[in-house]
Amino acid sequence: MPLGSVRTIVSNRFQSGRKLDFGNANPSTLGADFLALGLPLVTKINELHPVGGSFALLQLQRLNEARNALIHDDPVSIAACRTMQPLVLETARRWRQSLDFVAAEMDTIMREHLTDLIGAPPW
C-alpha cells in the first residue's frame, strides 16, 4: 500500500468523531481526542503537575462555561459563573496563563509520546 494511502487512512481515523469538531476545547474534549491517539492527556497533565495541572484544567473549564454563558446571553449561567469567579480582567489574565500552561504541556507531552512511538523527536 502506498505511503500516501496509509497517511490518509490514519488521518481519517483520527479525525473521525473528534470532540473538538463539535464543542469547545475543555478537559473532557481534549482528553477524549488525545485518548484516540493513545495518549491520556488530562491524566498525564495531572500526573506531572498534581496541583498546577488540576488548577489549569479547572480554569480552562471555567473559561468555557463563562464563554458559553456570555455568548448565549444566559443570565442564569452568567450568574452561576460569577459565583465561581468574578468576570473581571484579572480572571481573564488567569485564564490566559492557564491556557498557556495547558498548551505548553500538551506540546511537551505530545512530543514525548511521538518520540516513544517513532524513536526520534518529531520537532
- Over residues 41-71, the pLDDT tens digits come to 999 999 999 999 999 999 999 999 999 999 9
Domain that holds residue 114: 3-118
Are 26 and 61 spatial neighbours (Cβ–Cβ below 8 Å)?
yes
Average pLDDT over residues 101-108: 96
Are 103 and 91 spatial neighbours (Cβ–Cβ below 8 Å)?
no
Residue listed under C-alpha cell 481534549: 30
The Cα–Cα gap between 30 and 8 comes to 22
> What pLDDT sits at residue 1?
61
**Domain tally, the chain:** 1
> Could you give the angle at the alpha carbon of 19 between the alpha carbons of 106 and 78, nearest 5°?
90
Name the pTM for this structure.
Answer: 0.85
> What pLDDT sits at residue 8?
87
pLDDT bucket at 120, cuts 50 / 70 / 90: very high
Counting beta carbons within 10 angstroms of the beta carbon of residue 49, is it exposed (0 to 12), middle (13 to 18) or buried (19 or more)?
Answer: middle
> What pLDDT sits at residue 17?
86
> What pLDDT sits at residue 64?
96
> What pLDDT sits at residue 38?
87
Taking the alpha carbons at both ends of the chain, their separation in whole angstroms is 27
What does the pLDDT look like over 4-37, one tens digit per residue? 787 888 788 778 888 988 889 999 999 999 998 8
Would you say residue 88 has pLDDT above 90? yes
